[in-house]
Structure 1
Amino acid sequence: MKANRMEAFSDGVLAIIITIMVLEFKVPAGHDWHALIELGPKILSYIFSFVYVGIYWNNHHHLLHMVRTMNGPLMWLNLLLLFWLSLIPFTTAWMGESHFAATPTALYGFILLLAALSYWLLQRVIVKQHSSDSSFFLAMGKDWKGKVSPILYLAAALTAYVSPWIAGFFFVLVAVIWFMPDKRIEHALKGR
């Protein structure tokens, strides 16, 4: 199997995840702006999650361009990442329905933490396919975003019990860090 087949499968799963999230929206009972405003927490949790799934899709797309050889560990780690991402619609809906109550928000952070760790493991397996003097191998060693993100997700999960605003700050911070695709991969691709 070639990496583009795994990428196409992953793209399909991510598209379904976004579709499930948007299907969680129910038409408001009222017919004015106030009825829509009541959906504010659901809309905000959807925006968070849409951005996160988009970030994963974008960076995953770049990362898979560096695959040299498909193998079992690579495919299983990709499925592990998709598993954690597939739980985002559930936690998104629960967090929005509960108006960012502590436990749903903490679970959201925990799921994002596990997705980040899965992505990091997937990245490690792909990096090991390259020689230690390759531009990709050397560039990926400086993975400050991959190292700080799990810490911020854990902080978000723990601070959800103190304040959903503090947890939200950590969620936004990670999204800002990852919003632009990983330039290290683009530079490595140019160096091929």
Structure 2
Amino acid sequence: MMEKGRLEAFSDGVFAIIITIMVLDLKIPSDGNWTAIMNDAWMSTFLAYLVSFIITASFWVSHHLIISNLKKVDSGLLWINVLTLLPMSLVPITTAWFGEFPNSVAPSVTYGLVYVLSVGALFNLSHIVSKHLANPVVQKRMRRVNRSRIGLIAIGLVGTGLAFIWPPVTGGMVLVVSGGWLFLRAVVHVRALEDL
């Protein structure tokens, strides 16, 4: 067993690198006029970055809340954590591809699948962490949150399926679902504080 600080530091580093790689994909506009950022190619890349930034923030907050319940970690949890971060590490490349070709099926479907796999990985991490906890109240809360993740996975799969018909739907679906998730998490947090 080891302290969870190393796991948190590693994970925070991965999330920071994900965001850094994404922002580096934004190219400097071609000239000093406002019209340079209003062209379709630059705006598409920027919107993909913005959506992915919100996704990554949502994943980071969820990951933090899951891990914050642990006191110590073992090697099994370290590996589960690494596997949780694996699909999330694909967010920058799928963001760049989707931002470059927002009306194409392959990048849109891939972007949606990476989102679904990432939420599924958080579901798995939360499920495993909850089994390591002694506090039944926290276990119950984590199970309730995980039930919400099942809904997110279902919505993600539907949105990804719709991308075969209309590819841009993927970005909107991911933005709405991630934004909604952050809002719901804020409501749950406020209610938990009221219970204290």
Q: Using structure 1 for the length normalisation, give the TM-score.
A: 0.89
Distance in structure 2 (CA, Å) of the matches to 1:29 and 1:173: 31
Distance in structure 1 (CA, Å) of the matches to 2:126 and 2:189: 11
Distance in structure 2 (CA, Å) of the matches to 1:62 and 1:151: 22
> 2:99: which partner in 1?
96
Q: Check whether the contact 1:109–1:154 (CA below 8 A) recurs between aligned residues.
A: yes
CA apart distance, 1:164: 3.0
> 1:62: which partner in 2?
65
Higher mean alpha-carbon deviation, 138-147 vs 148-157, is at: 138-147
Task: Deviation per CA, 1:12-44: give whole Å up to 9, x if none.
Answer: 111011000010111222332222112110010
Distance in structure 1 (CA, Å) of the matches to 2:193 and 2:3: 18
Q: Using structure 2 for the length normalisation, give the TM-score.
A: 0.87
Tell me the SS of whatever aligns to 2:31: coil
CA apart distance, 1:150: 0.9
Tell me the SS of whatever aligns to 1:31: coil
Q: Check whether the contact 2:113–2:157 (CA below 8 A) recurs between aligned residues.
A: yes
Higher mean alpha-carbon deviation, 133-142 vs 14-23, is at: 133-142
Aligned-residue Cα RMSD (Å) equals 2.3
Relative to its length, the structure with more helix (as a share) is: 2
Judged with a 3 Å threshold, the aligned counterparts in structure 2 of structure 1 residues 116 and 141 are, in CA distance, closer, same or farther, namely same
Higher mean alpha-carbon deviation, 172-181 vs 98-107, is at: 172-181
Tell me the SS of whatever aligns to 1:26: coil
CA apart distance, 1:183: 6.1
> 1:136: which partner in 2?
138
Tell me the SS of whatever aligns to 1:164: coil
* Equivalent of 2:165 in 162, 166, 175: 162
> 1:17: which partner in 2?
18
Task: Deviation per CA, 1:56-90: give whole Å up to 9, x if none.
Answer: 11121121111143122211121112111111000
Distance in structure 2 (CA, Å) of the matches to 1:44 and 1:20: 15
> 1:123: which partner in 2?
126
Structure 1 residues without counterparts, runs of 5 or longer: none
Distance in structure 2 (CA, Å) of the matches to 1:174 and 1:187: 21
Judged with a 3 Å threshold, the aligned counterparts in structure 2 of structure 1 residues 71 and 18 are, in CA distance, closer, same or farther, namely same
Aligned residues, how many?
191
Judged with a 3 Å threshold, the aligned counterparts in structure 2 of structure 1 residues 109 and 122 are, in CA distance, closer, same or farther, namely same
Tell me the SS of whatever aligns to 1:115: helix
Q: What is the percent sequence identity of the aligned residues? A: 30
Judged with a 3 Å threshold, the aligned counterparts in structure 2 of structure 1 residues 8 and 191 are, in CA distance, closer, same or farther, namely farther
One-letter code aligned to 1:16: I
Distance in structure 2 (CA, Å) of the matches to 1:74 and 1:80: 10
Distance in structure 2 (CA, Å) of the matches to 1:126 and 1:190: 24
